[in-house]
């Protein structure tokens, strides 16, 4: 059975900063490891989509990648909003994104052409539509993650949410098939 889980969440500025080894990032990765292991072993998710943005998207991808040692059958995919996504980032961030893309089972370019905010939102819509559920790291603030969650609610997709301010998890409905 193919069950798909997509990710949405905050950028590094809301997750302790751009340093990969800060306490917030380490805690999110540990939380993700536990929840994703359950999503795979109990709820049968075997395909994962990340939006490739710095912050939660990349953390989600990295943890799924780590879990492939334990669960070699799972697929780890990236949805890029447009072809040159990330080209304006600092060199280490661009290099990291390219490394993640090389590890991915599939990299899907959602739109041709360059940047627009609409393409970022469209990438999120693509992932929600593709998925059977959404895992979110969201503190309740307005922005792209909020818009993605609202869309997922309208589509009646289960949302498993980590609030990085309170370190609590919530789920809008059962993730069972």
CB 97, CB 86: distance < 8 Å: yes
* Phi and psi torsions of 77, nearest 5°: -120, 160
pLDDT tens per residue across span 115-164: 999 999 999 999 999 999 999 999 999 999 999 999 999 999 999 999 99
Angle at the Cα of 120 from the Cα atoms of 118 and 124, rounded to 5 degrees: 110
Question: Which domains, from first to last, does the chain contain?
Answer: 4-171 (3.40.50.450)
The candidate with the shortest Cα–Cα distance to 30, out of 176, 169, 126, is: 169
pLDDT tens per residue across span 53-108: 999 999 999 999 999 999 999 999 999 999 999 999 999 999 999 999 999 999 99
Q: What DSSP character marks residue 149?
A: H
Query: Against a cut of 0.75, is the pTM above it?
Result: yes
């Amino acid at each position: 059975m193919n069950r798909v889980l997509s990710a949405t969440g905050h950028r590094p500025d809301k997750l302790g900063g751009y340093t990969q080894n800060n306490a917030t990032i380490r805690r999110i990765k540990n939380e993700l490891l536990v929840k994703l292991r359950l999503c795979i072993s109990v709820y049968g998710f075997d395909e994962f989509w990340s939006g490739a943005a710095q912050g939660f998207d990349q953390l989600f991808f990295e943890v799924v990648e780590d879990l492939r040692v334990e669960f070699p059958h799972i697929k780890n995919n990236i949805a890029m909003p447009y072809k040159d996504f990330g080209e304006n980032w600092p060199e280490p961030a661009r290099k990291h994104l390219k490394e993640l893309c090389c590890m991915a089972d599939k990299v899907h370019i959602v739109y041709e052409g360059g940047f627009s905010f609409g393409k970022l939102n469209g990438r999120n819509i693509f992932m929600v539509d593709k998925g059977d559920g959404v895992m979110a790291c969201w503190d309740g603030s307005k922005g792209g993650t909020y818009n993605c969650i609202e869309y997922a609610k309208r589509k009646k997709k289960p949302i498993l949410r980590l609030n990085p301010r309170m370190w609590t998890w919530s789920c809008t409905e059962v993730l069972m098939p």
